[in-house]
Amino acid sequence: MHRNYFVLLSVVGNLSAIKENTKLNLQKKMKTIIFGNNQTAQLAHYYLSIDSEHEVVAFTVNKNYLTESTFCDLPVVPFEEVENIYPPTEYAFFVPMTYRKMNNDRKMIYEQAKAKGYSFISYISSKATVFDNVEIGENCFILEDNTIQPFVKIGNNVVLWSGNHIGHHGTIKDHVFVTSQVVISGNCVIENNCFLGVNATVRDFTKMGEYTFVAMGARITENTEPFSLYSESGSKKINMSSLKLRI
């Protein structure tokens, strides 16, 4: 009994060390502006407020969507003017947007904010398991209960919603959205702008072409072509471009 108890303590201690090492992936404390005034922006504000060193100071949206002057008790300013109000030399940026238009909406705002001169934070939940040799880019939104195994590389502007498994030696490139309970097995490559629906499964050593859309519950057992679309019904490719989806 005592021996098993000490083994358990050792395992817990090692996991704690792994958690602490992942802090190296995070930037220093930054005053941060969030893009958006919707539920996703509210979630980002909540996570950053309770589980990061960063301080959210304002929100920003395009003028056409600026309906109120405050959101979550913070100011909302026009994105077209944000750099004049919150200079990029003093503030960081975060774009926690969803997968609309195969992630192109999020990509566009990310690139526009980058062109304004902003640096970006990433949020990695303290409740995620991320090993110390994992590489994670900027403007990533990684929620609780994700398991990211050793030697994984994650690009920029990637969203991993809660509860996913990212297998060892895998690569997720830029502007990807992984929903929840997705299994990406080891040594996979997920190219730019892919979308993986809830409970999707990707076989090991699979390469997914850019803009691949994988529907809820689909099983991917072979490489996919760019702009391809896979349904949950038999996980067969559908003869339609993913860019034609209204999501």
pTM above 0.85, yes or no: yes
Which one is predicted more confidently, 242 or 78? 78
Q: The tokens of 227 are what?
A: 């702009």
Instruction: Report the alpha-carbon angle 207-208-209, nearest 5.
Output: 115
Which one is predicted more confidently, 18 or 71? 71
What pLDDT score was predicted for residue 231? 87
- Pairing type for strands 171-172 and 189-190 reads parallel
pLDDT confidence bin for 246, thresholds 50/70/90: low
- pLDDT tens digits for range 110-120: 999 999 999 99
How many Cα atoms occupy the beta-carbon half-sphere of 26 within 13 Å?
A: 20
| CB-CB contact of 151 with 130 (8 Å) | no
Domains, in order of start, for the chain: 27-120 (3.40.50.20), 122-241 (2.160.10.10)
SS3 7: helix
SS3 of 69-134: CEECCEEEEEHHHHHHHCCCCCCEEECCCCCCCCCHHHHHHHHHHHHCCCEECCEECCCCEECCCC
- pLDDT tens digits for range 20-38: 434 434 457 999 999 999 9
| CB-CB contact of 37 with 58 (8 Å) | no
Q: The tokens of 85 are what?
A: 């109000």
Which one is predicted more confidently, 13 or 178? 178
Alpha helices (H) along 32-122: 39-51, 82-85, 104-115
SS3 28: coil
Residue carrying structure tokens 């490559």: 189
How many Cα atoms occupy the beta-carbon half-sphere of 65 within 13 Å?
A: 12
d(CA 76, CA 180): 30
